[in-house]
Structure 1
Amino acid sequence: MSHPNRSRQDSGHDRDAAPPYPNASGIAAQVNAGELDPGAVVSAFQARIDARNGELNAVFEERRDLVEADVAQLRGRLAAGERPPLAGVPVIVKDVVWVRGRRVTQGSLLYRHFVAPEDAIAVERLRAAGAIVLGMGNTSEFACKGLTTNKVYGLTRHPQDTALTAGGSSGGCAVAVAAGMAPLALGTDGGGSSRRPPAHAGVVGFKPSFGAIPDAAGFPHAFPGIQVMAPITRTVDDAALMFRALCGPDPRDPDSMGFQCAAAEPLEGLRIAVSPRLGLDTPVDDDVAEAFEAAVARLRAAGLRIARQDPAWPEGAGEAALMPLQHVGLANLYGEAWRSDPDRFDPDIARQIERGLSWSGAEVARAREASRRIGLALAAFFTEHDLLLCPTTPCVAWPNDRLGPERIGGVAVEPRAHAVFTPFFNHAQAPAISVPCGTGRDGLPVGLQIAGPRGADWRVLAAARLVEQLLAAG
């Protein structure tokens, strides 16, 4: 499919391939060695934001006065002999995560004047690691929509083609990283929000196991128990570097206590399953299927033990069975505000709230049971397989004037059909990562998703690193 309104004034992706500095680990190494001033790093990425954000609409609340203060503090730490692992590395934080002293809106008019009183634990740890928060990444309202647009900041556009979307809800973060505005971004993922936008934008999005990154300070979640903080980066090595700085227990978050991430094993002996449609009766576009199969072929050629095997899902498994949980979560948090003034809400979010108010207790209980059974099915699958590979999305990016593509695989689909391959891993509380695996029509990025059992975060990252290396070598 071609798009007559395509905007490629600066050849999009080609320009984005060269950010001011290549990666986070290189920045930190040079800053720690005294070869690079953190202020120079920050200025270079701020110039990139100035150059690109006007057309992409991805980053807000820059507060350069706070950035300057953070740079000065880091200089003092370096002078005192500290060598933090993310020294001087700029990061964009999704506009649902608390960053002390900054406006954090959740993309909602209800919070357009809210200033976070403290840092989320993940942001606290980024600061301790020496990272510098440059600004907030745009999100869909309450992170509950597969298109990044809201009534506070408007629409975020794809970095290759401003007529397209990078999806949602972490679209601002994914676009910022893809466009070279920062090497790192901190997103959230409650159903694929930090895997699908990176897949569409051509970067890496990692959803850790639930509990791996503590999450206590901040807004209440519409879907507790499945949402996690999620690194978005240009490379897998940077995702691993960021995850290492973020993971580990904190007594403020009981879900993180006692949680252990297993060390990565050698990949050669692992049992890797490939499921081109994740065992679901769902269409996939030909260009996505071809890019995915080509990537799998490279892995087989490298000697990995790979077999075709679909998970066996419980009867009726699908997003339709799970969506009452999101709707009820939104209704619980914002139902009264919606009743008092529906016009303050994105119409799509308002419809979710209205539906949430209509679900019966029995229907919500059925959705919770569906979530549990999906998690059990995936856990059983991982007793026989160590990793699972599938496409991240069944389609490439689509026009940004609609919730989702109207057709996938030549079949008319519902607006959420683009999101089918990511939510089950949230309900299983399992780690999953999206890595670029080639391009589809019009040169748009395709993502490959790698998942493992809960706690196998380092195994998943190791596999993603190998995929990245093999595809780059090809």
Structure 2
Amino acid sequence: MSGSALPPTAIALAGAFASGEASPVEALRECLERVDAVNPALNAIVTPDREGAQKAAMESARRWRDGRPLSPLDGVPITIKDNLLVRGLRATWGSALYEHFVPDRDELPVARLRAAGLVFLGKTNVPEFTLQGYTDNKLFGCTRNPWQPALTPGGSSGGAVASVASGMAPLALATDGGGSIRRPASHTGLIGHKPTTGRITRADGFPVILHDFEVVGPIARTITDASAMMAILADGDRPWRPVTEQPSRRARIAYVPRFGDAPVDPQIESSVSSAAQMMEELGHGVDTIACPFDLERTAEAFRTISAAGLAWLLRGLGKGAVEHCGADVQAIAHHGESLRAADYAGALADAARLKRQLGDLFERYDAILTPAAAALPWPARKSHPEEIAGIAVGPRGHAVFTAFANVSGCPALSLPVSPSDDGLPIGLQLVGAWGSDEFLFEIGGEFLRKRG
């Protein structure tokens, strides 16, 4: 943690607990000091749980003293995104409609972390209903990027990445419905993983509005820490395989620098191109190819599913619920109300088509490599950049590379690459076939070690 005498990574911190060099109580104290120092400016944690965290840290310290830790991450502090339910902690989903909602049970992935002994610092900020690529809402206001507070950390996991990148916590639990882990991780120099759909079962959470597109995943400073989280979160019938330092084989990588004529910031394009060359230097086969699917059709499927899901949710919350939402969310909901059942069925058919197309591609390649985001971070209070590389773009122009992994269910991993000329973080994205999460981690880990 920045300015801390304790190790900055979760695995190293747990090692200090095991050796007696540090205790979970000391780690929590330093995290809380960091929260006090930087959270007022960044607005990452919006519902803290100091009392619960202190109790959990003391219990963890006793377990380590007795030689009975619940997991390798017992006692490690973590933040939880505010669209995930934590027993006894307010969960707002970034909306005034849930301003006073306090769940009485943990959502399943949260329960798994609690059972593993992790210490919950609190809930992190999100845009309303986690449907936008920046982080701001009427309840809590704007979250800012630790690298440059005038800029956004992205969204919808903006509070989560800001908490980790600023040193408030070494880990964060978040969700990814269209790139909401990967793009914010790329904007803040972190590791972000969107697991294969179904790899981490969800239950006892908010209503589902994104079909099966949204999954739970880890955000961390190192790939080793993210892997350790996945070992706790993954379902027992498909346990997380220990990740080796070297991939079991050289990978066949399809490098897609652009999706059609969608613009990409030149500095991002250059940095990710250099990363692709580094993959070749590691012995992987890298072919540059065009976008291997119908981008507009996939984007429309995402728009239809998300708008219809939101309209359904707000209808269930009662007459006039939409009027309590922000203008952008109202626009999405009104679009959802205009859709027909046939539109939704068509979107599901397009998702199935994409899965078949990518299934064919993954017969020839092990991974797809793209930028994680098309734009560098933009002003924090703007919902999206209005231009990329001098070309006007809409609300998801910056997000063009990520949603296809959600629609198809494929695993995807965001890794930091060389920063911009101004020192802003940039990330690449690796997308693999269903169930290839661990192989992506092995490719990514080897790449990061070479990059140094």
Aligned residue in 2 for 1:11 = none
Alpha-carbon separation, structure 2, partners of 1:43 and 1:455:
38
Aligned residue in 2 for 1:160 = 147
Aligned residue in 1 for 2:335 = 355
Question: Equivalences for 1:31-110 in 2 at 5 Å?
Answer: 31-83=17-69, 84-110=71-97
SS in 1 for 2:396: helix
Aligned residue in 2 for 1:30 = 16
8 Å Cα contact 1:314-1:373 kept in structure 2: no
Aligned residue in 2 for 1:6 = none
SS in 1 for 2:330: helix
TM-score (norm 2): 0.95
Aligned residue in 1 for 2:113 = 126
Q: CA-atom RMSD, angstroms?
A: 2.0
Amino acid across the alignment from 1:172 = G
Amino acid across the alignment from 1:92 = T
Tell me the CA shift for residue 60 of structure 1: 2.1
**Aligned: 1:173 with 2:154:** no
Instruction: For residues 298-322 of structure 1, give each alpha carbon's deviation from its aligned partner in whole angstroms, at most 9, with x where no partner exists.
Output: 2212222222233521474342342
Alpha-carbon separation, structure 1, partners of 2:401 and 2:336:
23
Instruction: For residues 55-98 of structure 1, give each alpha carbon's deviation from its aligned partner in whole angstroms, at most 9, with x where no partner exists.
Output: 10010221211112212222333344313210221100000111
Question: Equivalences for 1:193-342 in 2 at 5 Å?
Answer: 193-249=180-236, 258-259=237-238, 266=247, 268-277=249-258, 279-314=259-294, 316-335=296-315, 337=317, 339-342=319-322
**Aligned: 1:382 with 2:368:** no
Instruction: For residues 82-119 of structure 1, give each alpha carbon's deviation from its aligned partner in whole angstroms, at most 9, with x where no partner exists.
Output: 13210221100000111111111111111111112111
What is the count of residue pairs matched by the alignment? 449
List 4+ stretches of structure 1 deviating above 3 A. 15-20, 258-265, 336-339
Match of 1:143 among 106, 116, 130: 130
Change (3 A) 1:18 1:159: farther
Alpha-carbon separation, structure 1, partners of 2:415 and 2:235:
24
Alpha-carbon separation, structure 2, partners of 1:143 and 1:188:
9
8 Å Cα contact 2:49-2:120 kept in structure 1: no
Unaligned runs of 5+ in 1: 1-14, 250-257
Aligned residue in 2 for 1:427 = 407
Alpha-carbon separation, structure 1, partners of 2:249 and 2:288:
17
SS in 2 for 1:180: coil
Task: Identify which range, 28-37 or 305-314, moves more after superposition.
Answer: 305-314
Amino acid across the alignment from 2:277 = A
Unaligned runs of 5+ in 2: none
SS in 2 for 1:442: coil
Amino acid across the alignment from 1:428 = S
Tell me the CA shift for residue 221 of structure 1: 1.8
Alpha-carbon separation, structure 2, partners of 1:276 and 1:18:
39
Aligned residue in 2 for 1:7 = none
Alpha-carbon separation, structure 1, partners of 2:49 and 2:439:
38
Match of 1:468 among 445, 448, 451: 448
Match of 2:103 among 109, 116, 121: 116
Aligned residue in 1 for 2:172 = 185
Aligned residue in 1 for 2:374 = 394
Tell me the CA shift for residue 206 of structure 1: 0.5
Alpha-carbon separation, structure 2, partners of 1:434 and 1:33:
32
Task: Identify which range, 21-30 or 332-341, moves more after superposition.
Answer: 332-341
Instruction: For residues 315-374 of structure 1, give each alpha carbon's deviation from its aligned partner in whole angstroms, at most 9, with x where no partner exists.
Output: 743423420100000111113547414442121111111111111122222222122212
SS in 1 for 2:133: coil
SS in 1 for 2:297: coil
SS in 2 for 1:356: helix
8 Å Cα contact 1:292-1:437 kept in structure 2: yes
Aligned residue in 2 for 1:456 = 436
Instruction: For residues 2-52 of structure 1, give each alpha carbon's deviation from its aligned partner in whole angstroms, at most 9, with x where no partner exists.
Output: xxxxxxxxxxxxx95979531000111111222211100001011111100
Change (3 A) 1:216 1:19: farther
Tell me the CA shift for residue 262 of structure 1: 6.8
Change (3 A) 1:311 1:415: closer
TM-score (norm 1): 0.90
8 Å Cα contact 1:188-1:229 kept in structure 2: yes
